Amino acid sequence: MTTSDDAFTRATHLVADLDSPFYDEERQRDVWNEASAIGFQTMLWGVLGLACAMAWIGGGPQVGWAFGLLMVSGVAGHLALRHANRLGVTGWENARLNRPRTYLVIGLYFGTLAGIMVNLEDALPSSVASASFVGGVKMGVPIGLIVFALALVVNAVRRRGQTPE
Helix intervals (H) in 3-162: 7-16, 26-53, 63-86, 100-118, 120-123, 131-160
Convert the pLDDT of each residue in 80-101 to its tens digit. 888 888 888 887 788 787 888 8
Rounded percentage of the chain residues whose pLDDT exceeds 90: 16
Query: In sequence order, what are the residues at sequence separation of 6 or more whose Cβ sits closer than 8 angstroms to the Cβ of residue 35?
Result: none
**What integer pLDDT is reported at residue 130 of this predicted model?**
57
**pLDDT for residue 50 is more than 90:** yes
* Residue 43, pLDDT score: 92
Residue 89's pLDDT is 87
Handedness of CA 98, 103, 109, 114 (dihedral sign): positive
What would the pLDDT profile of 14-49 be if each residue is shown by its tens digit?
Answer: 888 878 887 788 888 888 888 988 999 999 999 999
Taking alpha carbons only, the member of 5, 115, 137 closest to residue 52 is 115
Residue closest to 124 by CA, chosen among 109, 136, 110:
136
The pLDDT, as a whole number, for residue 2 is 46
Give the pLDDT confidence of 54-67 residue by residue, as tens digits.
999 998 889 889 98
pLDDT at 141: 67
Look up residue 3 and give its amino acid: T
More confident position, 46 or 11: 46
119-131 pLDDT tens trace: 877 766 665 555 5
**What pLDDT shows up at residue 1?**
47
The verdict on pTM exceeding 0.75 is: no
pLDDT of res. 38: 92
> Minimal CA–CA distance to 15: which of 115, 85, 82, 60?
82
